Amino acid sequence: MRLIQCIDTTGVRKVGIVEKDTVQFLRDVSSTYQLFQKALGNHISMEEQAKQLASGQYQSYENIASQGKILVPLDHPDPYHAWLTGTGLTHLGSAASRDSMHQKLQNKQELTDSMKMFQMGLENGKMRGNTPASQPEWFYKGNGLGVVHPDQPLLSPAFALDGGEEPEIVGLYIIDADGNPRRLGFALGNEFSDHRMERINYLYLAHSKLRPCSFGPELLLGELPGHITGMSRIYRNGGLLWEKEFLTGEENMSHNLANLEHHHFKYEMFRQPGDVHVHFFGTSVLSFANGITTQDGDIFEIEAEGFGRPLRNKLQVRTS
């Protein structure tokens, strides 16, 4: 089952089940957050709860989208209680892109820190049972104020050196009353970053990640497929500028999800009841690594099988 959050044609916030080219709205809830709380209280899955709340009222998915009324599929009523975080160097193709940015010129035979981190994941990135594997690279991206809804512009600040896409799968979580992370499901994500800044020195990674991001438009409930094929594209002036296939899912990752989740939620501050977590799982494809320089007005598009409608956002570069 796939869910969206949106504003309907009468201006009312809704949660809906995606059914081909229509959306069936739910009754008694106006957010995915509320749906989760109701399902938790009733001790049933979100999918079962959504089925019980199906209203029989439908609207055209395309009409909702064309009016720019689609919201991210999960948010918190207080954006300061939403965490945006992620992990890098988690995919089998990710090291090449990163290493090309961080090459040490003085010694071509010496492994970069990026390659060392990637190698640790290859050798020991799969959590088995209750035994954690090696820690992945981890970064903080911001709070709910940095979330951009699908089809809305990603703003690149005037001081930025670059604004580039990162096509990723996002895990969406809510912390329950006992401090346990509950994964609702997954969504497409654009972990928008400043790659030119990162290329100067990998210690600038933290700075480069403090940019807005977008995810959705749909929430895929349940487990993540082991193998996912997606496409990342950039359009400019009405034409296709760049596109590249990306592979994700655990079959294409050096770390498994259990390990990535363990090393994020082992910190008590990330287990505060009621908080929302949006966690990016990494990528292996960047247009920047292919020599693309984005510019104001470019449109990013990310799609993957099983996730429904593509995630699209326009790049808007601030001048001051």
pLDDT in tens, 152-162: 999 999 999 99
The whole-number pLDDT of residue 111 equals 80
Q: What integer best gives the mean pLDDT of the chain?
A: 94
| Residue 254: HSE in the Cβ half-sphere, 13 Å Cα cutoff | 26
pLDDT tens sequence across 166-220: 999 999 999 999 999 999 999 999 999 999 999 999 899 999 999 999 999 999 9
Q: What angle, 0 to 180 degrees and rounded to 10, lies between the N-to-C axes of helices 113-124 and 94-101?
A: 160
Domain chopping of the chain, boundaries: 2-70, 75-317
| pLDDT confidence of residue 116 | 87
Decide if 115 contacts 100 (C-beta within 8 A): no
Give CA–CA dist 246/159, Å, rounded: 30
> Tokens 């954690």 map to which residue?
132
Taking the alpha carbons at both ends of the chain, their separation in whole angstroms is: 43
Q: What's the chain's Rg over C-alpha atoms?
A: 19
**13-22, 101-110, 212-221, 262-271: least confidently modelled range:** 101-110
28-83 pLDDT, tens per residue? 999 999 999 999 999 999 999 999 999 999 999 999 999 999 999 999 999 999 99
Name which CATH class applies to 75-317: alpha beta
**Confidence (pLDDT) at 106:** 39
Residue 276 has pLDDT above 90, yes or no: yes
Tell me, what's the pLDDT at 105? 36
